[in-house]
Structure 1
Amino acid sequence: MNRVITGLACAGAFFLLVCAAALLLVASAPPAIEAPRNVFDFTTLRRDPTDIDLPTLRRYPARDGEQLAYRYYDSIANRILIFVHGSTYHSAGYHALASFLSLNGAAKVVLPNLRGHFQSGRRRGDIDYIGQLEDDLVDLIQFIRDEHLEGPITLGGHSSGGGLAIRFAGGPRPDLVSNYLLLSPIIPGSPSVKEGTAGGWASLHRRRLYGLLFLDALGIHGFDGLPIITFNKPVKYWDGTETLSYSYRLNVSYHPRYGYADDIEALGDKALVLVGVDDEAVDADALRALFASRAPHSQVVSLAHINHFGIFTDRGVLQRIAEWLRGVPSDEGTKHPS
C-alpha cells in the first residue's frame, strides 16, 4: 500500500511539475518584434474599404446570437461560393474576385467577415472557443438556405481562409458543401509554409504555443484567449480595419488541425488548389508534393508569374476559377444543416 501511495504521490508531483513548466511557457515574453517588411505587395490592394461599389455589409445570426457580417454578390448562376478571407483583413479585400465571378455567371458569392475581424464579433482578434469559426460557417449555410438559395455550395478561401476550408473538410459537416476552392492555402507545420512564418509575414509566440498545446491536451482552456501570433503589415498600409494579432483559439481555428494530414485527405477529389510560383508565403512545389501524397485526386495547379495576392486578383486566374466553377458537378452540397 505504501508503494502505491508513494507512486501516486510521485506521479502527482511530476504532473504538477510539468503543468508548472507549461504555465511558464505560456507566461513567457513574446519574441522580439522584427523590423517591418513589406512581405506582400500591398500597393496592389490599397483601397478604401468604404468604396461605394462595395456591397453593403449584411448580417446573419450565429448560434450564440451574435450578428456576423458578410457581403453578398448576386448572379444568374445557381452555384453559391462562400469564400473566406485571409489573415488580418476581411471581405473588402476580395471584391474584385467576387465581382468577376458573379458578373460572369460563375457563382453567387458570399464573403463573410470571420468572427474576430472587422465588424464581426465582440472582440477583435479573438473568438470564444476552438472550432467556433467552423460553427459560424455552418450557421452561415443555414442562413443561406433559410433565404431560399438552394444551389450547390463551394467553400473557398485564400491563404489562412484556404486553411479554414481544409479544416472544414475534416470536420463534422463536410456534407454541406459540394467542393472546395483553395487559393494559396496556409497549412501551418507543413513544408509548404515558407520559412515556417509565411515568408516573414507571421511572428509566432512558439513557447506560448507549446505550453497551450500541452494544457489543451489536459482539457485546460483558461488561457486560450491569450495572443499567440502577430502579423507584419507595414504601418503605411493600415486603414484601421485590419486585425494584426490573433489569440491562440482564433489562430488554431483558422487552419487545419495540427498534423493536418487527415484534414487534407478529407478533401478527396473535391478540391481545386491554385498557387503561384512566385508566392511569397507558400512554396508551390512543396504544396503540390503535399497534396500528391495526401489528396492525390484533387487538382493542384502552379501558376507562373503569380504571387500571393495575384492568385485572387489576376484576370487570367479569375477566368480559370470561373470556368472551373461553371464546370463542376452540381449534385452535392445542397443539404440543409440540421
Structure 2
Amino acid sequence: MFARKHPDTESIHFGWREAVAYARTALFFLTRKRPKLSLTALSRMSAMDVRTLPPIRRFTASDGETLAYRTYHGPEERQIVMIHGSACFGDQLHKLARHIAEESAATVHTIDMRGHGHNARGSAPAESYARDVGEFCAHLKQHPARPQVILAGHSAGGGLVLNAAYGPYVRNIDGMLLLAPYLGIASGSLRPYFGGWLVGIAWLKLAATAALNLIGVTRFNDRPLVAFDREACLHDPRFVREWSFDTLLGFGPGMTRPASAEMLDFRIPMLLISGDRDECFRPDRYKSVMDRIAPWASIQLFPGLGHWDILADNGVATFCVNWLERQFAIEQRVQRGKTKDAKIA
C-alpha cells in the first residue's frame, strides 16, 4: 500500500460550452432509435480465463481513499497503467495486460477506479478520477529504475486518460495508448446511446443537474443519471449499473479541444486502436478528432473487431507489444527524459 500527495489541481470545469454540447448530444440521441446491444459483444470477455489473475493490491490516494489494482510483472523500466471503461472493471483488461507482461514489453497495472470493480460502489467527485491516475503514475516514477510510464485506457477509460493529460499529470506520463476511446461528448464519434450500452438516461434530471452546475451548484452531482444495459451486466456482479453526473464528467476528456500546452510541447507517443466494427463509437471519425487533439498520434483499425474484442484479440496484443518496443526502447528513454526535463524547467 502506498500514498502520494499530488500537486494541487483545478476542479473540472463545466460551463456553457459543455452545456451546449450535452444539449446537442441529447437531441442527437432523442431523435434516433436506441439500438439493442448484442450480448455477443461481451462474449470474448466472458470467456476469458481469469484463473491466472494476479492478487489484488491496494493504492491509497492522497485523500485516504483506496483503490484496488493488479500488477502483471514485466520489465521495470516500462510501466503501463491501464484504465477500464464505463461500468466496467480492471479484470476485463487481464488478457491484454498478461500478454504484454509475458512478452517482456512492460509491467502492467490494471486499476479499478472509484466505485467500480473491487472498490466500494457509489459516486465520487469528478476531479478525483484523474487525480487518482496522476498520483498512481507519480508513484511509479519514483521507482529506482526511473521507468517510462505509459497510460492506457479503454472506452471511457480512454477519456479519463486524456482528462489526466490536461494538467500537471502529463509530467509523469511518457506515452498514451487509447483503446476504442471515448473522445468527448462533442467529438462526433459517438453512436446513439453508445450502441445500446446505455439503456436509460434521465434527461430531465441531467438537464437540471447541468443547469445547476452552470451556477456552481454541484450537490446533486452524485445522483444516478444514466443506466447501462442490465441484461449485459447481469452475468457479472462487478459491472456497475448506473453512473452519476460526477462520474460522467470524471471519465470524460472534457470538450474535444486541443490538448494543453504542456502536452503539445511534450508530443508524447500516442497510439489509438479500434476495431472497425466498434459497437459504441464511429471508428471512421477518430482521425478527424485526433487531428485536433494530438495530430501526431498513430491510429490503427483492426478489421472485424468490435468494442470489447480488442481487449481479447491476440493481433491487437501483439501490435501493442511491437509499438511499445519501438517507441520506448531503453536507449531512447534517457534522451526523451532529458528533453522533457528541459521543457519543464
Q: Same fold (TM over 0.5)?
A: yes
User: Whole-Å Cα distance in 2 between the matches of residues 283 and 53 of structure 1?
Assistant: 34
Q: Which runs of 5+ in 2 are unaligned?
A: 1-29
SS at match of 1:83: strand
What residue number does 1:217 align with?
214
Which of 122, 126, 131 is 2:123 aligned to? 126
What is the rounded CA distance, in whole Å, between the counterparts of 1:228 and 1:199 in structure 2?
18
SS in 2 for 1:281: coil
Contact (CA 8 Å) 1:125, 1:245: kept in 2 or not? no
Q: How does 1:183-202 map to 2 (within 5 A)?
A: 183-187=179-183, 188-195=185-192, 197-202=193-198
CA contact (8 A) 1:182 1:271 kept: yes
C-alpha separation in 1, matches of 2:239 and 2:290: 31
Aligned to 1:153: 149
Q: State the identity as a percent.
A: 25
The one-letter code sitting in structure 2 at the alignment partner of 1:232 is D
Letter in 2 for 1:46: S
- 1:228 to 1:178, Cα distance in 2 relative to 1, 3 A: same
Instruction: Provide closer, same or farther for how the CA distance between residues 76 and 35 of structure 1 changes in structure 2, counting only shifts above 3 A.
Output: closer
Counterparts of 1:188-267 in structure 2, within 5 Å, are 188-195=185-192, 197-202=193-198, 203-234=200-231, 237-257=234-254, 259-263=255-259, 266=263
Cα-to-partner distance string for 1:110-138 (whole Å, 9 max, x where unaligned) = 10110111222x4x1411x2210011112
Any idea what SS the aligned residue of 2:186 has? coil
Structure with bigger helix share is: 2
Structure 2 CA distance, aligned partners of 1:235 and 1:69? 23
Q: Which structure: larger Rg?
A: 1
Q: Structure 1's 285 and 172: CA in aligned 2 closer, same or farther, altered over 3 A?
A: same
Q: Tell me if the contact between 1:155 and 1:179 (Cα under 8 Å) persists in the aligned partners.
A: yes
* Equivalent residue for 2:176, pick from 161, 177, 180: 180
C-alpha distance after superposition, 1:148-195 (max 9, x if no partner): 463110001111111111111123321110110001001223211112
Counterpart of 2:136 in structure 1 is 140
Q: In structure 1, the residue corresponding to 2:46 is in which secondary structure?
A: coil
Corresponding pairs, count: 298
Partner of 2:44: 44
What runs of 5+ residues in structure 1 fail to find an aligned partner? 1-30
Contact 1:39 1:280 (C-alpha < 8 Å) held by counterparts: no
Displacement of 1:241: 1.4
SS at match of 1:273: strand
Structure 1 residue 269, shift from structure 2 partner? 5.5
- Secondary structure of the structure 2 residue equivalent to 1:111: strand
Q: 1:236 to 1:216 in 2, by over 3 A?
A: closer
Give runs of aligned pairs for residues 81-120 of structure 1, distance below 5 A.
Answer: 81-120=80-119
Does structure 1 retain, via aligned residues, the 8 Å contact 2:221–2:244?
Answer: yes
- What is the alpha-carbon root mean square deviation over aligned residues? 2.6
The answer to whether the 8 Å contact 1:227/1:245 transfers is yes
* Worse overlay, 266-275 or 295-304: 266-275
**TM-score after normalising by structure 2:** 0.79
**What is the Cα deviation at residue 275 of structure 1?**
1.2
Q: CA deviation at 1:291?
A: 1.3
